[in-house]
Amino acid sequence: MKIAVLPGDGIGPEIVAEAIKILEVLRAEGISLELDVAPVGGAAVDQTGDPLPPSTLTLCEQADAVLFGAIGGPRYDTLPREQRPERGLLRLRKAMDLFANLRPAQVFPELVAASTLRPEVVSGLDILIVRELTGDIYFGEPRGIRTNGAGEREGFNTMVYSESEIRRVAHWGFQAAMRRQRRLCSVDKMNVLECTQLWRDVVTEIAPEYPEVTLSHMLVDNAAMQLVRHPRQFDVIVTGNLFGDILSDEASMLTGSIGMLPSASLNARGQGLYEPIHGSAPDIAGQGKANPLAQILSVAMMFRYSLHRSDLAERIEEAVRSVLAQGIRTADIAQAGEGIVSTGQMGDAVATAL
Amino acid sequence: MKIAVLPGDGIGPEIVAEAIKILEVLRAEGISLELDVAPVGGAAVDQTGDPLPPSTLTLCEQADAVLFGAIGGPRYDTLPREQRPERGLLRLRKAMDLFANLRPAQVFPELVAASTLRPEVVSGLDILIVRELTGDIYFGEPRGIRTNGAGEREGFNTMVYSESEIRRVAHWGFQAAMRRQRRLCSVDKMNVLECTQLWRDVVTEIAPEYPEVTLSHMLVDNAAMQLVRHPRQFDVIVTGNLFGDILSDEASMLTGSIGMLPSASLNARGQGLYEPIHGSAPDIAGQGKANPLAQILSVAMMFRYSLHRSDLAERIEEAVRSVLAQGIRTADIAQAGEGIVSTGQMGDAVATAL
Ligand SMILES: CC(C)[C@H](C(=O)O)[C@@H](O)C(=O)O
Ligand SMILES: CC(C)[C@H](C(=O)O)[C@@H](O)C(=O)O
């Protein structure tokens, strides 16, 4: 099993190092894993001037899975658009056709107190957001900044979805719902945007193929409210790239432990990119404060979705659960009075539990 | 002072009736108010086939202010797009050029317990969202559903802002911040969308005109998170039409009392449309259960922004506060064990307090 490892920027390298500890434990058991490390994001800009160098892209395309850390930092914010770290990630998603982005928002029983929501509202929360990742206004053309008829600057982008783009990610939503509580909520803004009217139409057309799934539709503004009002009403949410970006970040913050949440981005060939939901946190980089659990849980998702070893995914998830049950906490998930471990100590604890 | 009254659908007529009680109290004191009632939304579709009949639009254009209830209902969801109730509202906003939408999200001390967030996170919360309301992807052309080169349906919309559109609403944001805590956060998605890169550039260009305001910028996904994580960090938020739709609904739900929140939509001539943030709630329409306070507080905003009588705005707000302090509650804001009053009783209580 070939894994491309892209640590990236900020806390990326530190937390990826802990994920590699987990992979080493499995390798010592005889699991065959080939790891190849390559630069991406700001680190790649520093080395090559390009946030996604051709050699990194080739490595990813030839791998079974990509383990991705995090990218970005204030140093890179003033670069021209094509050199900004996030362009590397966007181009990688598009080049590998990673259209299905799975983002779980889950509250761990031991960490209910970390949420800003009342415990009775969020305990047991377990939402899966299926976000389309290679279409929508993220990639739509035409786009840019031009001079309009009045001689003023005018910025413009194009939101666009074809029915096949909607259909393939909608199937992912229905199939994920089949493996869970069988409730799928499709989010759009059909009352204003024709593009998302088509979204609703296509999702509705597919529904009869999944008679066991209860499908509902919700407008994006209402969804942003309902996530705060009563988040447990949701099982699986499927939505477009832009709305998914906003709602999945909102949902992950409801859990109070964004340092715990992994994500997967998959293509039709089963290749996937696995990364934490959180960012590169430049403010704490290099200090041993980062929580590596989202990165480690991303490894679990990688075994489940790309490497066809759900047994290993479950072992890793179980190891994380047992470490939490032992009361081991990095700073971000510790309550007042709880002892705090470093990034490396947390990784060691999970490796030991495994 | 000429006021166009558009009750609309669902609970709209009930809560507008209570707002009129307040206006009658002021009229009895000698304040000259001319009220003209006209249909809008589903009610107008039923009568004329058009959610914004020409006579309603003319009345609004000739008024100093529009008092708007709520629109929409399941009966109208299957109508052709042009006849849907929300098209009436969108066309009215555009025709009157109501580009500055002010949406306060405020936690009333007596109602902290109604929020799903922990009291220590939301008590004292007081955010003002300034949402651009006549541009962006809501009105951008081209738009529609076409057949693409592959013979498939494809939905598309155009996000577009010119610098003058950004500038006028940004000024509103800065000026609102000057009257408050002097902190303005502009929200965009500049790392992906050129349209919002221009947004950030123009807001930044204006900032030197307001040296006393501390300006920050935030990406929309992060803003959706920060509203949950630490909402009190915000004073005034300024953003585009689409992001403002989503974030203002999220912010209003943080307060736990969406039945309490008014809004104003203003044009450059000082005309304004005043409406509750909540919707038409068809499920409880006609039962006397609706909370009229958002509509009554919309009347207060109307006196402040269009009728130049801040003194009356403050009297109305004070009357609402005193009614809350007396423990008078409609069902939506009552805690277990508290007595519940009807829509009409709540309106009477405020009128008496006034
Ligand atoms: C970095 C940025 C381009 C990216 C996105 O908007 O997709 C990020 O917010 C995410 O959600 O992975
Ligand atoms: C009804 C709808 C078109 C409208 C909008 O999206 O602007 C509503 O959600 C609002 O926020 O006033």
| B116 domain-assigned | no
Q: Do B143 and B212 fall into the same domain?
A: yes
Residue B330 sits in a domain of what CATH number? 3.40.718.10
| Residue B174 domain flag | yes
- Tell me which of B225, B241, B247, B333 to substitute to probe the interface with A (most A C-beta atoms closer than 10 Å): B225
Residues of chain B by 3-state class (helix, strand, coil), percent to 5: 50, 20, 30
Write out pLDDT tens, residues B129-147. 999 999 999 999 999 999 9
- Model confidence at A338, pLDDT cuts 50, 70, 90, reads confident
Mean per-residue pLDDT of chain B: 96
| pLDDT digit string, tens, across residues A64-103 | 999 999 999 999 988 998 999 999 999 999 999 999 999 9
Mean pLDDT confidence for A145-160: 97
Peptide bond just before B119 cis, omega within 30 deg: no
Q: Does residue B172 sit in the same domain as residue B233? A: yes
- Asked whether the CA dihedral A131, A134, A139, A141 is positive or negative, the reply is negative
Structure tokens, A291: 């929580």
Domain boundary among B237, B254, B271: B254
The fraction of chain B above a pLDDT of 70, given in percent, is: 100
Residue B44 tokens read as: 């107008």
> Do B250 and B295 reside in the same domain of the chain?
no
| A154·B198 Cβ contact <8 A | yes
**What's the confidence (pLDDT) of residue A78?**
86
Domain stops at, among B254, B282, B305: B254
| Nearest beta carbon to residue A137 from set B117, B159, B230 | B159
Q: Which of left, alpha, beta for B235 (phi over 0: left; psi -120 to 50: alpha)? A: alpha
| A196 lies within 8 A of chain B by CB | yes
**Residue B124 pLDDT > 90:** yes
pLDDT at position A77: 83
In what helix (H) or strand (E) does residue B91 lie, and over which residues does it extend? helix B85-95
Other Cβ atoms within 10 Å of A277 Cβ, number: 25
Residues A248 and A183 in one domain: yes
Query: Is the same domain home to B149 and B67?
Result: no
Q: Are A239 and A227 in contact (CB under 8 A)?
A: no
Closest to B284 in 3D by CA, of B276, B274, B292: B292
* Residue B344 sits in the same domain as residue B271: yes
The catalytic residue among A64, A188, A235, A245 is A245
Average pLDDT over residues A201-210: 98
Both B27 and B141 in a single domain?
Answer: no
pLDDT in the model for residue A271: 97
- Greatest extent of chain B over all pairs of C-alpha atoms, in Å: 69
- Mean pLDDT (whole number) for A127-136: 98
B249 is catalytic: yes
Does the pLDDT at position B78 exceed 90?
A: no
Atom of ligand 2 nearest to the CA of A189: 6
- On whether the CB atoms of residues A165 and A199 are closer than 8 A, the answer is no
Please indicate, yes or no, whether residues A204 and A313 belong to a single structural domain of this protein: no
How far is B341 from B329, CA to CA, in rounded Å?
6
Which residue among B254, B286, B318 closes a domain? B254
Domain count for chain B, please give it: 2
| The pLDDT of residue B225 is above 90 | yes
Q: Is residue B287 part of a domain?
A: yes
Q: How far is CA B349 from CA A247, B5, B69, B324, B345, in A?
A: 39, 22, 20, 10, 6
A112 within some domain:
no
How would you write A321-348 as a 3-class SS string?
HHHHHCCCCCHHHCCCCCCCCCHHHHHH
Cα gap B83→B282, rounded to integer Å:
18
**Is the CB of B234 inside 8 Å of chain A's CB atoms?**
no
**CA distance to partner chain A, nearest, from residue B25 (Å):** 35
- What's the rounded Cα separation, in Å, for the pair A20 and B135? 48
How confident is the model over B282-318, as pLDDT tens digits? 999 999 999 999 999 999 999 999 999 999 999 999 9
Q: How confident is the model at residue A353 (pLDDT cuts 50, 70, 90)?
A: very high
Asked if B155 and A121 come within 8 Å (Cβ–Cβ), the reply is no
Rounded CA-CA distance B238/B280 in Å is 26
| A325 plus A292 within the same structural domain | yes
A151 touching B, CB under 8 A? no
Same domain, B130 and B246: yes
Please indicate whether, in this complex, the C-beta atoms of B228 and A199 are within 8 angstroms of each other: no
Domain that holds residue A221: 126-254
DSSP label of B52: S
Query: B159 pairs with which residues across the strands?
Result: A157
Same domain, B146 and B227: yes
> Residue B82 CB: number of other CB atoms within 10 A?
11
Decide if pLDDT at B196 tops 90: yes
Q: Is B210 a catalytic residue?
A: no
What length is written for chain B?
A: 354
Residues 54-113 of A with CB under 8 A from B: 81, 84, 86, 90
User: Cα separation of B40 and B93, whole Å?
Assistant: 13
Q: How far apart are CA A204 and CA A166, in angstroms?
A: 11
What local confidence, expressed as pLDDT, does residue B336 receive?
Answer: 82
The answer to whether residue A11 sits within a structural domain is: yes
Q: Is residue B193 part of a domain?
A: yes
- Secondary structure of residue B129 in the 3-state scheme: strand
Asked if residue B111 is part of any domain, the answer here is no
Residues with Cβ < 8 Å from A286, sequence gap 6 or more?
A14
Mean pLDDT, chain A, integer? 96
Residues A98 and A205 in one domain: no
Does residue B34 lie within any of the structural domains? yes
pLDDT at B108: 93
